[in-house]
Amino acid sequence: MATIAELMDALPEPAVEVAARPRGIVPERLDDWALRPVPVGAFRRLRVLGTMHAEIGAAYLFLWLRGWFKSAAEKERLQAETHWSTALRVLDSMSYLRGATMKVGQMMANFPDIAPSPFVETFERLHYDAPPMHWSLLKEMVHNELDGDVEERFASFEKQAFAAASMGQVHRARL
């Protein structure tokens, strides 16, 4: 039985070019996130969550330590910088884990008083611009769910998702 990593290495590249995405807070990362497989297994998912929490703690510990030797204005600048960089790291982990973890990010975006504004503004991206799954992974999932290839089940199936959110993505297809 092949491992997930071996299957990922064997996947062909999509025939269509990636459509231009609107650029915003996380421009270069969106396309990269689509290529990562969803982590499988409780231990692997727990490890990603634990790493994310450790990174958050370390970022704010270092902010606190650096703040000892800085002026008030410099402390404020460092805090804003830490908020933005940590928000991007958390968004990266949420986009990797997908599903329920991304839903937590969406909920945080809906309640701006529970997190710093850089987190809220970053997590708002999860409502409308979640990274879609790579075509090769999607094709394999459809094959497993429908017991047949996409080409066999559908008259046409667009490889490029035209919409994606935390719980799924949308492709145009005809039976």
Q: What is the rounded distance in angstroms from the CA atom of residue 18 to the CA atom of residue 72?
A: 45
- What tokens were used for 142? 């459809």
- Could you tell me the pTM of the whole model? 0.60
136 in the same domain as 113? no
163 in the same domain as 125? no
136 in the same domain as 82? no
Domain span holding position 100: 26-131
175 in the same domain as 127? no
HSE (side-chain half, CA atoms, 13 Å) at 20: 2
Query: Above pLDDT 90, what percent of the chain?
Result: 6
Q: What is the pLDDT of residue 118?
A: 85
Backbone angles phi, psi at 70, to 5 degrees: -120, 160
83 in the same domain as 69? yes
Q: Worst-scoring range by mean pLDDT, 21-25, 94-98, 130-134, 164-168?
A: 21-25
Nearest of 142, 158, 145, 148 to residue 15 by alpha carbon: 158
163 in the same domain as 112? no
120 in the same domain as 35? yes
* Strand boundaries in the chain, DSSP class E: 156-157, 163-165, 168-170, 173-174
